């Protein structure tokens, strides 16, 4: 049962949009999916249709705070079924307090992993929307995860932070979670008519080739994503038969294959496109050609 962290320390690169819509696409494939909102601003919670994040009875911050204080609560108490149709462990400002409390707790990097354990048997996939940081909460997400999806905006400045997240993943693999895999870099906010955007896409694919997987699927700029978030639903519900929804359907298949989901592998026809790229990613990961940099674990000191 894959736990997937959608992570990048830079904000505004499409983490929340990708987490929600990837979850909806996996659910459409017949998978049971749980979303976890690790952002103190509760962006994923709001995007899933829960407007008042401060009125949430039990959030992921409450769960982590309780575990840090030695009084763990069952994660099932926090799971809500959202207007977007997905199960969610919501996030709000309690996460900031939880991070401070975790700093002095025993096994602080494993708090999220232990918190999620009771939910593992109920879901095929758990998707974690990480906050734009590489602090202790983000380290917890990488410790709990089997794989990482790294959204990167097709913009020169956004790409500059890619090396930092890759170094952090490498350090987590070395010190905390040797099985952590990079499922792929996801290019987001791609503008097919913008030469700068296209140069960035080409540069990322060329520079990471043979080193870090890059998904074949690219998330183009489209107002429908913003409209869906405003309505508190996924793109698959907002514009079911449009190109934006199909994009996330393609991504869901790539992610499932990268995660080694045998049911999806069995259903996929053997042809080029998504399957061939996803198969290459999976072979790369099983050969452990993904991130192997040396470094000090950010946020763990």
Q: 246 pLDDT exceeds 50? A: yes
Q: Which residues have a Cβ under 8 Å from the Cβ of 59 and sit 6 or more positions away? A: 53, 78, 89, 90, 91, 92, 94, 95
Strand order in the sheet with 87-89: 80-81, 87-89, 33-38, 125-130, 3-6, 147-153, 181-190, 214-220
pTM for the whole thing?
0.87
* Nearest alpha-carbon partner for 212 in 297, 285, 298: 285
Examine the pLDDT at 4 and tell me if it is beyond 70: yes
Homologous superfamily in CATH for domain 3-286: P-loop containing nucleotide triphosphate hydrolases (3.40.50.300)
Q: Which residue has the higher pLDDT, 252 or 301?
A: 252
Domain map of the chain by residue range?
A: 3-286
* Helix (H), strand (E) counts: the chain: 14, 8
- 268 confidence band (pLDDT: 50, 70, 90): low
User: Per residue in 176-220, pLDDT tens?
Assistant: 999 999 999 999 999 988 899 999 999 999 999 989 999 999 999
Which pLDDT score is estimated for 170? 94
Share of the chain above pLDDT 90, in %: 71
Tokens of 15: 């983490």
What are the CA-CA distances from residue 199 to residues 155, 212, 217 (Å)? 9, 18, 16
Average pLDDT over residues 7-25: 94
Q: Is the pLDDT of residue 301 over 70?
A: no
Q: What percent of the chain has pLDDT over 70?
A: 88
Mean pLDDT of all residues in the chain? 87
Residue entry with tokens 């409450």: 62
Query: How far is 36 from 34, CA to CA, in rounded Å?
Result: 7
Radius of gyration (C-alpha) of the chain in whole angstroms: 18
Residue 129 forms beta bridges with which residues? 6, 37
- Mean pLDDT score, 98-116: 93
């Amino acid at each position: 049962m894959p736990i997937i962290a959608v992570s990048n320390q830079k904000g505004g690169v499409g983490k929340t949009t990708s987490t929600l819509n990837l979850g909806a696409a996996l659910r459409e494939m017949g998978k049971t999916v749980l979303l976890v909102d690790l952002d103190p601003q509760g962006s994923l919670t709001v995007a899933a249709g829960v407007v008042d994040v401060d009125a949430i009875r039990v959030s992921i911050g409450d769960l982590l705070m309780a575990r840090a204080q030695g009084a763990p609560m069952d994660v099932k108490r926090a799971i809500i079924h959202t207007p977007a149709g997905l199960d969610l462990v919501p996030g709000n400002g309690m996460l900031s307090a939880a991070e401070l409390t975790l700093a002095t707790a025993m096994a602080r990097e494993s708090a999220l992993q232990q918190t999620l354990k009771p939910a593992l048997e109920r879901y095929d996939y758990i998707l974690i929307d990480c906050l734009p940081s590489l602090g202790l909460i983000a380290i917890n997400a990488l410790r709990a995860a089997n794989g990482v999806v790294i959204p990167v905006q097709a913009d020169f400045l956004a790409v500059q932070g890619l090396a930092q997240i890759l170094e952090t993943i490498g350090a987590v693999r070395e010190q905390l979670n040797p099985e952590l895999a990079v499922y792929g870099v996801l290019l987001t906010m791609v503008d097919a008519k913008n030469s700068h955007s296209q140069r960035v896409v080409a540069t990322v694919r060329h520079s990471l080739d043979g080193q870090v997987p890059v998904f074949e699927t690219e998330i183009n700029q489209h107002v429908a994503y913003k409209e869906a978030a405003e309505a508190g639903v996924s793109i698959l519900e907002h514009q079911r038969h449009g190109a934006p929804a199909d994009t996330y359907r393609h991504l869901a298949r790539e992610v499932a294959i990268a995660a080694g989901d045998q049911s999806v592998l069995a259903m996929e026809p053997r042809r080029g496109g998504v399957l061939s790229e996803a198969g290459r990613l999976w072979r790369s990961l099983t050969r452990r050609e993904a991130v192997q940099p040396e470094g000090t674990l950010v946020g763990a000191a």
